[in-house]
Amino acid sequence: MSLLNFFTKKTINNNNNNNNDSDNQESCKIKEDDRIKGLKIIENIFNDEYHDKLWAEVNKCEWDDKSLLRRTQHYGYKYNYKSRQLKDEDIAPPFPQWANDLIMLLLEKQIINDTPKQLIVNEYKDNQGISAHVDSKIFGNLIFSISLGSKCKMVFKKKIENKSNNTDDNTSNSKDKSKATSTNNTKNKVEYEKIEKELLPNSIVLLQDESRYLWTHEIPKLKKGDHRISLTFRYLLNDKDDEKPKKNKAKKYSPY
């Protein structure tokens, strides 16, 4: 079943266009944050009818309840959680029709410019979330995720560099350093900048550049009774290698 007919036919409004539409439909809202460069959240990308049809189509597909604690679906490639790589044998089923329709709509609305190669569908229910992580670098500079169902918080964190720690510590051996960082000494305590964003149903969050590599993101555990599905699309790093920040790059990559 094609979902193209259910997509809201309206152009994105970046809050700078004050045109009044007679159809009384709420325009898409683009939200950016100068503190998290490369982050973009677009709300109201489609209407409630399309949302409900998409929800139904996603739930018709087979779920994997063995790979993770939450149910997932993998398309294009299935990420190898052990090797943290994509191999030939990790080919997953092709995108279902609902995903192809969704990609086409996002391309038409110029929300994205290229067709993604991998999709993971995550289901979150009572007390389920996802820990702080940076998606594997093999997926390139841009990832984007669409939210369905219950709203949630996405928490961004970035390590704050403490330049005052570059004196006496240089004379300590590696064992002493590891012990020092594990103490409550405020001189060696790692601090993070933390910013919370709300993700509503019918919204899309796009991460690239600093928001993609320098900030971790996480979904805190949902409240009892909440039920959410995220559709996370990713690309594959090609020979051109997307330009990405080289300084302060996050060291730990997640399998997600």
Separation between Cα atoms, residue 15 and residue 212, nearest integer Å:
24
Q: Look up the domain containing 91 and give its range.
A: 4-9+30-163+171-234
- 76 or 69: which leads in pLDDT: 76
Average pLDDT over residues 209-231: 96
20 found inside a domain? no
Average pLDDT over residues 135-160: 95
What pLDDT sits at residue 35?
A: 97
- 195 or 127: which leads in pLDDT: 195
User: How do residues 23-75 score in pLDDT, each as one tens digit?
Assistant: 434 688 999 999 999 999 999 999 999 999 999 999 999 999 887 789 999 99
Q: What would the two tokens of residue 230 be? A: 């995220």
250 found inside a domain? no
Separation between Cα atoms, residue 51 and residue 201, nearest integer Å:
8
Number of continuous H segments (helices) and E segments (strands) in the chain: 4, 12
108 found inside a domain? yes
What count of Cα atoms within 13 Å lies in the side-chain half-sphere of residue 94? 2
User: Helix, strand, or coil here: 58?
Assistant: helix
User: Which region, left, alpha or beta, applies to residue 229 given φ > 0 means left and ψ of -120 to 50 means alpha?
Assistant: beta
200 found inside a domain? yes
What count of Cα atoms within 13 Å lies in the side-chain half-sphere of residue 201? 16
Question: Could you give the number of structural domains in the chain?
Answer: 1
17 found inside a domain? no
CB atoms within 10 A of CB 155: 17
Average pLDDT over residues 76-81: 79
Average pLDDT over residues 216-224: 94
What pLDDT sits at residue 103?
A: 98
Of 18-32, 175-189, 240-254, where does the model show the most confidence? 18-32
Average pLDDT over all residues of the chain: 79
Residue 84 pLDDT class (50, 70, 90 cuts): low
Q: What is the CATH number of the domain that holds 126?
A: 2.60.120.590
Percent of the chain exceeding pLDDT 90 equals 57
248 found inside a domain? no
What pLDDT sits at residue 186?
A: 52
User: How do residues 178-218 score in pLDDT, each as one tens digit?
Assistant: 333 333 455 567 899 999 999 999 999 999 999 999 999 99
Separation between Cα atoms, residue 155 and residue 45, nearest integer Å:
22
244 found inside a domain? no
41 found inside a domain? yes
Residue 163 pLDDT class (50, 70, 90 cuts): low
